[in-house]
Amino acid sequence: MFKKQELKNFLVLKSINENITNLQETDVVSLKALTCLVMANYDDFEALGDIIDVKGKKSNPDTYAKIIQYIALGERHKNSYGQFEQLINVMRQWYPIYQKIKDIREEYPRENYRQPKDFIKPIPGIDLYNKYRNYLTDQNTGSHYVDFGEEMESATT
């Protein structure tokens, strides 16, 4: 399709790109603002629908607004997503060590054994886990995106 109508399609993509480039940051968050942009330029977005094969009931202003929002937010948060992914990897490495420390502390409780001062210090990483805990849990279902185990839940609540 693109090869057949190369110039026309290029102009459509250029027009859409200009409209998206002119968006303010706050407009990207608001689906309503994006829908207004789509409605104002609907002919271009219908042509885009032909190019990217969006047809029938899916070819509507809300669909195009969501596509723009997804791409714009993905671009805006690509760096923070990479950093968050690194954090998750570190926390996955941290969890087995945390679990071993927790198991040793349970095996040798303070009531039965004399413990060095370091033995009762808070385990490093718990505060970090608690700080990002909401981001690791689906707010609708309560399921964890990253499963550190049941013990982690009970230890931090």
Domain that holds residue 33: 4-135
Look at residue 151 and tell me if it is in a domain: no
With respect to residue 119, please indicate whether it lies within any of the assigned structural domains: yes
Burial (0-12, 13-18, 19+ Cβ within 10 Å), 141? exposed
Judge whether 13 lies within some domain.
yes
How many structural domains is the chain composed of? 1
Give the helix ranges, DSSP H, for 5-117: 6-21, 25-29, 31-40, 42-51, 61-76, 78-107
Quick check: is 72 in a domain?
Answer: yes
pLDDT in tens, the chain (157 residues): 555 556 566 777 888 888 777 776 666 778 888 888 888 888 888 888 877 888 888 888 898 888 888 888 887 788 888 888 888 888 888 888 888 988 999 999 989 998 888 888 888 888 887 787 777 777 777 766 665 654 444 444 3
**Cβ count near 38 (within 10 Å):** 24
Whole-structure pTM value: 0.53
